[in-house]
Amino acid sequence: MLDFYGKKLTSRLFLGTAQYPSPTILEDAVKTSGAQVVTVSLRRESGEAKSGQTFWNMISDLGVHVLPNTAGCHTVKEAVTTAHMAREVFGTKWLKLEVISDNDTLCPDVLSLVEAARILVEDDFEVFPYTTEDLSIAGRLLDAGCKVLMPWGAPIGTGLGLNNIYGLKTMRAHFADVPLIIDAGLGLPSHAAHAAELGFDSVLVNTAIAKAGNPVAMAKAFSIAIEAGVMARTADPMEPRDMANPSTPVLGMASFT
């Protein structure tokens, strides 16, 4: 069972809620996948017009944990302000903290991220920082009070999978006791399985599911894949070899020469 800031979870799949063809399909995808956490952007809500109220009611009815995010924020001030608004709207201390460097790569601005994380942790937020696989930044985020890290697999929405296998394996080994969630860039269920095989605790997926021809089926596929990856890892898989090794012994076989 997973533990994120004291909340116990059985599902290893986090779902984003943007870009789905309809609220009904989103609802079906969440239910089919068994996901227990969904991320929600504050931008879906409109304080006065309540234009996002129907969406919020649907999310509330699903009975899942809501992880608000600061998507689209480019500065510490913007992220901190958005975080406070999100806590008021969604009624949770949880926060997926994003501080973006540029709009082309959507790469985290790691220096601003650390500063924003420190401010928010001091203000009693439970921060899930969207970061890179850089070990020094990861250490600074933990020192700032974060108890979870969310390194990217690849740039948001690209579907490229795990771009830096070496870096991610090193991060997993270096922070063996820290919950790690692969966030961004996954395109196929096999990417989620690979993340789990490397020892990552969970994955967060949005675009690959929402933009699939059948989002509900794809949500189920990701759910199965990450559990398969966990099972493979705990089954103690064989190590890769440089040379072929026959599965059928040749010792004792008849010779026809």
Q: Which residues are catalytic?
A: 96
Strand partners, 202: 181
How far, in Å, CA of 82 to CA of 69, rounded?
9
Residues 6+ apart with CB under 8 A from 155: 105, 106, 107, 184, 185
CB 96 within 8 A of CB 65: no
Helices (H), the chain: 23-33, 53-62, 76-90, 110-122, 135-143, 165-174, 189-197, 207-210, 215-234
CA 219 – CA 213 distance, rounded (Å): 11
User: Which tokens in the block code for residue 223?
Assistant: 């759910």
Give one DSSP letter per residue of 7-48, joined into a string: EEES--EEEE-SS-S-HHHHHHHHHHHT--EEEEEGGG--TT
Q: Which long-range contacts (CB under 8 A, 24 or more apart) does 144-147 make?
A: 144/114, 144/117, 144/118, 145/117, 145/118, 145/121, 146/117, 146/121, 147/4, 147/5, 147/178, 147/179
Strands 202-205 and 13-16: parallel
